[in-house]
Chains A and B, each alone.
Chain A
């Protein structure tokens, strides 16, 4: 067991230190992606013509290999965590923008009409009606983005010591110690599962208003479409 948790000295870190670093490098980009995606998605909903080019751009950015990003970024941000996190933030957009656009669009028109008719201004309507109802679909998108980000952090080893748990893969190679690789893969997977569970829990806590269990299939509520989008996205998260 001690052997399993042993971290080679060249990483200059402990096991728990690597985990914290890994989570930080994975989650900050998703948060940054969310902060960018929310207004971007709202613009795409507001101006329909904007959505196809935005979607196209995020897909093209996603297709750029991280190594290419690193080569460009090292000139500005050096061999730092930031250099790893910037491409990861960009990658998260490909999942988050469409997820949020779908989420906001899935709010039933009659709910929006009711809000307008009751005297909600556009900003208040967005914050108090659209966004809360969109939460389940947004979190479904966050789950995909987070899982992908946690696995992608490992590429940080390409620029030296920034791959967190991913650097163990490199060390397994140079020291010929497969146990490092096993540790890296298992820990990364466990982290992804735990973070995913935390997101599911967050959704459950944030949405006491959602039909649960068998009730969902049987009942016809105005939220049908929003509910339907969630399992579909969750399916793709697995």
Chain B
């Protein structure tokens, strides 16, 4: 465990970057430091590998004061990933990744073999091994950065805004990749970002820092969204924290209606049988079970369903893996006000109304409140 104990960083000109910060960073999980620029988050990260020395306070790693450890071996035991990857432009991809094993005295052949193994792990094609950094896209360079940090299999990974410089789609891919790798490797990750959405998406614990380097709140993301400590945190979380909090409630809490679903080749009897008073619309699915669109029952002519005239169904949500947020989004996007639930293969498994999503949200909140009361 990394324990930051009332650490202050004061620069010679009197600026205080970090002010009496105490944090206990749990093992084998992602702790995110988030805050506006000038909140000391990067300084805090850099104090963990002694690129910045604290003015006061101590940082211990597994109970040992890091200021008593030889600085270069301490750094080699912590992977470090930065914005723009900071790759060595004069070395090939494979040699970039092999850097720390080489510093630790491993043979060139062994280090390179390990580097190729890591390229696969972070989702890079091994054929890129002999390329140079300038020949890779920003997203690929960032993957190399992550692979390089993992090369010596360090227990700790420090990441300083690693995904800030890539476009949103690539960023999302990299975030998913990081979560997948973390699931496999279980590193202790300290992750710095200014993006609260990224913090909530990745963090097991999130530390919100305010300007001047003081800790505003340290909590799991769901708790952050449900009970921000003060106006600053609330403001920093942004306007739609209620909606975002729904990401933490599984969609499986919803009770799906399976009746109002008809296949495109249904007979008149089948259509009639599936029409009920409380479902004003029927969802038409293809022969493969995937949704095609909504229709009012009286507009459906058995044997002659015009797919082009169906109402759009918005975006379906995956019943098994998505959250209430995706379900609500689906219900809001659909002109009928009904969301479509699908299974892993994309087949429609049920439908749910905006009202039903609303009820599930109220129920989840009630449960959340009870849980918070028990915990408090």
**A interface residues (Cβ-Cβ under 8 A, vs B):** 108, 110-111, 113-121, 129, 132-133, 135, 207-211, 215, 219-223
| A114: B residues at CB distance < 8 A | 80, 82, 85-88
Is the Cβ of A118 less than 8 Å from the Cβ of B89? Answer: no
Per the CB 8 Å criterion, the residue count for chain B at the interface is 30
| B74: A residues at CB distance < 8 A | 119
Residues A209 and B91 in contact in the complex (CB < 8 Å), given A118-B103, A119-B72, A221-B134: yes
Is the Cβ of A129 less than 8 Å from the Cβ of B75? Answer: no
Task: State the CA gap A115–B102 with chains docked (Å).
Answer: 13
Is the Cβ of B134 less than 8 Å from the Cβ of A215? Answer: yes
| B73: A residues at CB distance < 8 A | 119
> B83 contacts the other chain (Cβ, under 8 Å)?
yes
- Selected contact of A133 from candidates B49, B72, B90, CB within 8 Å: B90
| B76: A residues at CB distance < 8 A | 118-119
Is the Cβ of A221 less than 8 Å from the Cβ of B99? Answer: no
Is the Cβ of B134 less than 8 Å from the Cβ of A223? Answer: yes
**Contact flags (1/0) for B109-134 with A, using CB distance below 8 Å?**
00000000000000000000000111
> B307 contacts the other chain (Cβ, under 8 Å)?
no
Is the Cβ of A221 less than 8 Å from the Cβ of B51? Answer: no
Chain B contacts with A in 290-323, Cβ cutoff 8 A: none
Task: State the CA gap A77–B80 with chains docked (Å).
Answer: 56
Is the Cβ of A111 less than 8 Å from the Cβ of B88? Answer: yes
**Contact flags (1/0) for B79-110 with A, using CB distance below 8 Å?**
01011111111111000000110010000000
Is the Cβ of A117 less than 8 Å from the Cβ of B75? Answer: yes
Is the Cβ of B82 less than 8 Å from the Cβ of A110? Answer: yes
Is the Cβ of A110 less than 8 Å from the Cβ of B86? Answer: yes
Give chain B nearest CB distance to A99 CB in angstroms. 18
Q: What are 28 A-B contacts with C-beta separation under 8 Å?
A: A110-B82, A110-B85, A110-B86, A111-B86, A113-B51, A114-B82, A114-B87, A115-B88, A117-B49, A117-B78, A117-B80, A118-B76, A118-B100, A118-B148, A119-B71, A119-B76, A121-B72, A135-B90, A209-B90, A209-B91, A209-B92, A209-B134, A210-B134, A215-B134, A221-B134, A222-B85, A222-B87, A222-B89
| A209: B residues at CB distance < 8 A | 89-92, 132-134
| A222: B residues at CB distance < 8 A | 84-87, 89, 133
Is the Cβ of B103 less than 8 Å from the Cβ of A211? Answer: no
Which of B51, B84, B134 has the largest count of A CB atoms less than 10 A from its CB?
A: B134
Is the Cβ of A133 less than 8 Å from the Cβ of B89? Answer: yes
Closest-by-CB residue of B relative to A133 is: B90
| B83: A residues at CB distance < 8 A | 110
Closest-by-CB residue of A relative to B138 is: A220
| A116: B residues at CB distance < 8 A | 51, 75
| B132: A residues at CB distance < 8 A | 208-209
**B interface residues (Cβ-Cβ under 8 A, vs A):** 49, 51, 71-76, 78, 80, 82-92, 99-100, 103, 132-134, 138, 148, 158
Give chain B nearest CB distance to A122 CB in angstroms. 10
Task: State the CA gap A199–B74 with chains docked (Å).
Answer: 41
Known: A110-B86, A116-B75. 10 other contacts (CB 8 A): A116-B51, A119-B75, A120-B72, A133-B89, A207-B90, A209-B89, A209-B134, A220-B138, A222-B133, A223-B89
Is the Cβ of B51 less than 8 Å from the Cβ of A117? Answer: yes
Is the Cβ of B49 less than 8 Å from the Cβ of A120? Answer: no
| A110: B residues at CB distance < 8 A | 82-86
Task: State the CA gap A134–B132 with chains docked (Å).
Answer: 16
Which of A114, A210, A211, A219 has the largest count of B CB atoms less than 10 A from its CB?
A: A114
Give chain B nearest CB distance to A215 CB in angstroms. 7
Give chain B nearest CB distance to A119 CB in angstroms. 4
Closest-by-CB residue of A relative to B92 is: A209
Give chain A nearest CB distance to B8 CB in angstroms. 22
Closest-by-CB residue of B relative to A208 is: B132
- Selected contact of B88 from candidates A129, A208, A211, A215, CB within 8 Å: A129
Task: State the CA gap A207–B91 with chains docked (Å).
Answer: 10
Task: State the CA gap A219–B89 with chains docked (Å).
Answer: 13
Closest-by-CB residue of A relative to B133 is: A221
Task: State the CA gap A169–B82 with chains docked (Å).
Answer: 60
Is the Cβ of A132 less than 8 Å from the Cβ of B80? Answer: no
Give chain B nearest CB distance to A176 CB in angstroms. 56
Residues A111 and B87 in contact in the complex (CB < 8 Å), given A118-B80, A119-B100: yes
| B89: A residues at CB distance < 8 A | 111, 133, 209, 221-223
| B78: A residues at CB distance < 8 A | 117
Is the Cβ of B82 less than 8 Å from the Cβ of A118? Answer: no
| B80: A residues at CB distance < 8 A | 114, 117-118
Task: State the CA gap A208–B87 with chains docked (Å).
Answer: 15
